[in-house]
Structure 1
Amino acid sequence: MKTPNEPDTIEANDGFDSQAGDVAVSDRPWEELTRLAELGDPESLEEFLSELTTTDQALALSRLDENHRVQVLEKLDAEDAADLIAALPEVQAADAIASLEPDTAAAIVQELPSDEQADVLGDLSDQQAAAILNVLPVVEADAARQLASYDDDVAGGMMVLEMLRFTPDMTVADVIAELNKNADIYSDFDVRYAYVCDHDDALVGVLPMQNLLFVRRGSKLSELMITEPISVLDTTPLDDLIELFDAHHFLGVPVVDRDGRLKGILHREAVNYEETRAAESDYLKSQGIVGGEELRSMPLWLRARRRLSWLSINILLNIGAAAVIAYFQETLQAVIALAVFLPIISDMSGCSGNQAVAVSMRELSLGLVRPSEVFRVWWKEVTVGLINGAVLGFLVAICAVIFDGNGYLGLVVGVALFANTLVAVSIGGVVPLVLKRFGFDPAVASGPLLTTVTDMCGFFFVLGLATLLLSRLVV
């Protein structure tokens, strides 16, 4: 969801920590929620959920089977059910809405903020989303369709439509009358700022609401507003938005289209949320979780298929590393101590390479490096690799001498680790740039390529050097 969870306000203790009437909150809240769902008493459900923290609400609802989850959401009023849905991760929120009848789902979706409506509907199938949109009021359905048309990582996909919008010829008295007339509607809005638009909806100013406190009621907004405010296009990408909010202490900025018409408001917390979500998605991809997100509440076969799609490719890639060992099988049989150090060479080189991948990914996300700057990145990584490779090679060489008492074994593994560290940091630094340049996702492909190449090269360096010095290693 676009808006982070509200802070928890109840501290939990071991066992049963609080009592609300006959309802007790335990460390397994889903069991009590299941029991209350079967009873079907809305008041008991509301009472129990009110005693849970936001995190425990999400935990309890996510552990229910579909039938009990439907019972809970149907028994609660739409506003409370929307609060419960908002506590869930986006995938689980969409699954919960999808399991409901369109009328019930629409009533709950209608209570969500506009950006969260778009998120939930965007995660549903086209048929499910259409069924809900057909039940929503026309104005809200059109707004949800508008937001759902944007990508999640641009300003339009993160903005909210709830805002105070006035015209420059309105007076302070007009604004106060409007706020009083629609107090129920505006109570959930962020009312620190109002946005002043002309009759073509073009943004002309921003009005801090405190400016209304000490002025004449007859003053026009054109006299009080901040003219030429900073705004962003609805197509502005996430990286540019992060840079904007890092440079300014804004709580939010207006979002406009190419004609300058006000489309919505983008809050800082929405940008922070998407930045965190993007980082989490990249991390999951780098670990082979295809699709960028996995929760254990997802269907078993879906989770297995997503993981296998990456793992099965990794088997093919690792055959290359196994082939190197098979080629030098006689050397390995003659100097069995080499088998002890093969995984060390592989693992240490992989760690060095992953560090280089992380730095390249970070610089790409911040715009500090371009995909075309391959040589510059390679040289920067090689200079680090020379130092770290020498240090690590020396340390592992000492370990080999202590382990086997043969200085030549130390020379073999030390030089191999030094050389493989250079290979690892080179690949780790350069591959994300190359993949990005050719339109591939560097978060997905960098890891398997790095692992395979460092394993193959590491085994080749160790066993190849050992073959050259075999007479010195065999005592």
Structure 2
Amino acid sequence: DEDSTEIEQLLSYDEDSAGGIMSTEIFSLREEMRVQEAIEALQQAEDVEMVFYLYVTDEYNHLVGVLSLRQLLTVPPQTQLKDIMTRDVIRVTTDTDQEEVAHLVARYNILAIPVVDDSNKLMGIVTVDDVIDVMREEATEDIFKMAGASEEELLYGFKSFKIARLRLPWLLVNLFGGVITGYLMWMFKATLEQIVALVSFVPVITGMGGNVGGQSATIVVRGFATGRIDMGTLRRVFFKELRVGFIMGTVCGSTIGLVAWFWHHNPYLGLVVGLAMVTAMTVAASMGVLAPTFFKKIGVDPAIASSPFVQTANDITGILIYFGTATMFLQLLL
């Protein structure tokens, strides 16, 4: 029957594509029809998804234009549709990713978007209701990925071993990053042996760098997901986050520098800790932009470059910056 044919057609498309989420029950009009005929056809229409927009096709069902109900009701009844329709129609193809469909609907503030095949034949329509569902799904997926988890956990319920297997990969990445951080500290053991007070501020340097990097990464990942950030605006976003990281680093670096000075009664220690904090937080902010961008460039979901990856990377760079700065000022610290 008709329903089974529609279901079979939808199943032939990828579930995350425009073809997989579209409705095939769509009302369309032929371009040679007159306004009066179009209104009569509209009055007789049943079981259509929506008629806020009236899509116009040619004799081969190619999408050639779009009309609004207002246009249809405010022109003479003998006017042909091809004379009043808008020919520049925002459309997507059946293989367009559902996230891109959602971006287009949000960007152009429209209630629906037509779906065509490779030959521009009208195949269906995606409404704003469908788009809201997509946005909810994509946001949930991004949140799981940013936490180093997976939505599959919801399917496993209380099956602890299966859930642990899903979470372990990113935790192992963090573990490996921690080993590298420990190795770097061991490489600077000569500096540490002479200035033991440096140990006091290792958690602060690495922790603040990870926090700043996580903030920047979250903003960029969400920007990519909503379409507010693209490769064209990325340069401005990068320098904005760099400035923000520097400003926050200056405030935090000045504060922790004073703490180090009065705690250990060594102004040069305060200078080293403060400079390292400013540099580490600035680098962390830039890392938070570059990491998701790199993943997006190579075709990997940038959400996985958020908290787990960025925090691990910033731990490593933070240690290098901190102990590198301390080694440079070693003679003054003694």
Give the structure-1-normalised TM-score.
Answer: 0.57
Unaligned 5+ segments in structure 2 are none
Map of 1:288 onto structure 2: 148
Map of 1:78 onto structure 2: none
Q: Which amino acid aligns with 2:291?
A: V
TM-superposed CA distance for 1:316, in Å, is 1.5
The answer to whether the aligner puts 1:227 opposite 2:88 as a matched pair is no
The answer to whether the aligner puts 1:162 opposite 2:25 as a matched pair is yes
Q: Which amino acid aligns with 1:319?
A: V
TM-superposed CA distance for 1:240, in Å, is 5.2
Map of 1:414 onto structure 2: 274
TM-superposed CA distance for 1:444, in Å, is 1.4
Map of 2:9 onto structure 1: 146
TM-superposed CA distance for 1:349, in Å, is 1.0
The answer to whether the aligner puts 1:370 opposite 2:255 as a matched pair is no
TM-superposed CA distance for 1:249, in Å, is 4.0
Question: 1:276/1:402 Cα in 2 relative to 1: closer, same or farther (>3 Å)?
Answer: farther
Map of 2:60 onto structure 1: 200
Q: Which amino acid aligns with 1:286?
A: M
Task: Give me the whole-angstrom Cα distance separating, in 1, the residues matched to 2:300 and 2:28.
Answer: 42
Unaligned 5+ segments in structure 1 are 1-136
Map of 1:342 onto structure 2: 202
Question: 1:454/1:220 Cα in 2 relative to 1: closer, same or farther (>3 Å)?
Answer: same
8 A contact 2:205–2:318 mirrored in 1: yes
Q: Which amino acid aligns with 1:233?
A: V
Matches within 5 A, 1:32-431: 137=1, 139-165=2-28, 168=33, 172-173=39-40, 176=43, 178-179=44-45, 186=47, 189-192=49-52, 195=55, 197-203=57-63, 227-228=85-86, 230-234=89-93, 235-238=95-98, 241-242=101-102, 244-290=104-150, 294-295=153-154, 298=157, 300=159, 301-329=161-189, 331-332=191-192, 335-365=195-225, 366=227, 368-370=229-231, 381-431=241-291
Question: 1:433/1:398 Cα in 2 relative to 1: closer, same or farther (>3 Å)?
Answer: same
TM-superposed CA distance for 1:397, in Å, is 0.8
Question: 1:431/1:190 Cα in 2 relative to 1: closer, same or farther (>3 Å)?
Answer: same
Q: Which amino acid aligns with 1:232?
A: R
Which structure has the higher relative contact order (CA within 8 Å, separation 6+)?
2
8 A contact 1:165–1:197 mirrored in 2: yes
Secondary structure (helix, strand or coil) at the match of 1:313 reads helix
8 A contact 2:280–2:318 mirrored in 1: yes
Task: Give me the whole-angstrom Cα distance separating, in 2, the residues matched to 1:265 and 1:436.
Answer: 28
8 A contact 2:117–2:123 mirrored in 1: yes
Of the three residues 287, 293, 299, the one matched with 1:439 is 299
8 A contact 2:116–2:124 mirrored in 1: yes
Task: Give me the whole-angstrom Cα distance separating, in 2, the residues matched to 1:352 and 1:397.
Answer: 18
Q: Which amino acid aligns with 1:327?
A: M
Task: Give me the whole-angstrom Cα distance separating, in 2, the residues matched to 1:415 and 1:381.
Answer: 19
Secondary structure (helix, strand or coil) at the match of 1:295 reads helix
Question: 1:266/1:335 Cα in 2 relative to 1: closer, same or farther (>3 Å)?
Answer: same
TM-superposed CA distance for 1:417, in Å, is 0.9
CA deviation profile, 1:380-408 (whole Å, cap 9, x unmatched): 54444433322221111122234333323
8 A contact 1:317–1:452 mirrored in 2: yes
Of stretches 413-422 and 153-162 in structure 1, the one that deviates more from structure 2 is 153-162
8 A contact 1:321–1:459 mirrored in 2: yes
TM-superposed CA distance for 1:204, in Å, is 5.3
Task: Give me the whole-angstrom Cα distance separating, in 2, the residues matched to 1:426 and 1:469.
Answer: 25
Task: Give me the whole-angstrom Cα distance separating, in 2, the residues matched to 1:194 and 1:371.
Answer: 34
Question: 1:460/1:224 Cα in 2 relative to 1: closer, same or farther (>3 Å)?
Answer: closer
Q: Give me the identity figure in percent.
A: 32
